[in-house]
Amino acid sequence: AQKVTQAQTEISVVEKEDVTLDCVYETRDTTYYLFWYKQPPSGELVFLIRRNSFDEQNEISGRYSWNFQKSTSSFNFTITASQVVDSAVYFCALRNTDKLIFGTGTRLQVFP
Amino acid sequence: GAGVSQSPSNKVTEKGKDVELRCDPISGHTALYWYRQSLGQGLEFLIYFQGNSAPDKSGLPSDRFSAERTGGSVSTLTIQRTQQEDSAVYLCASSFRRGADTQYFGPGTRLTVL
């Protein structure tokens, strides 16, 4: 079965704190793709990153970084020095054939 | 360039009425997807189109739901005899090709069935 679990329903931090959003996935496929999307209050899903199963290198983009570990089936997302503008719901997703299977999302609230 | 666009942004309808939701994908994208986001079910896949191939309708919740894609571009999702449980945000996405390519999402249509 294909499944994505985001155990953290909601996280609250104060600006400038670092925060990690967890994502655990299940798949029997040997080749697969993982994604993170951000959904700000406006509602539109914004693409953040795509990672394929053959590339386990961690990725950093500005204040964002991703830690992909096949051994634990995890694809965690860290925001360094969080800002109020980071407040949103973040979704982790797994590609299953041609569609995305989403986790239930983690709502991040960053307070000034 | 322009992103995925959807119309209307909001739709309020009465139970039993039919509704049509429209999606304009990113120019040049051959794959188009519909998803639904509701409080109880989260984000769930509905249907996907790839070029002129037969669509994957495996996510449609009932035969009241249908979709078409004309000329490989614009898509319309139709819900017949709407029910209150159809209330949700309907999201459209497109990708350059099928499969691994990144799906880019539109702003969604919020459907409220009274």
Write the pLDDT tens digit of every residue in B31-81.
Answer: 999 999 998 778 999 999 988 888 899 999 999 999 999 887 899 999 999
Amino acid B86: pLDDT? 96
Q: CB B103 to CB A102 under 8 A? A: no
Task: Give the HSE-up count for residue B18: Cα atoms under 13 Å, Cβ half-sphere.
Answer: 10
Rounded to whole angstroms, the Cα distance separating A78 from A71 reads 19
As a whole number of angstroms, the distance between CA A47 and CA A41 comes to: 15
- Confidence at residue B100, expressed as pLDDT on a 0 to 100 scale: 66
Give B99's pLDDT tier (boundaries 50, 70, 90).
low
CB within 8 Å of chain A, chain B residues 8-27: none
**Chain A contact for B109, CB < 8 A?**
no
Tell me the chain A residues in contact with residue B93 when contact means C-beta distances shorter than 8 Å. 45
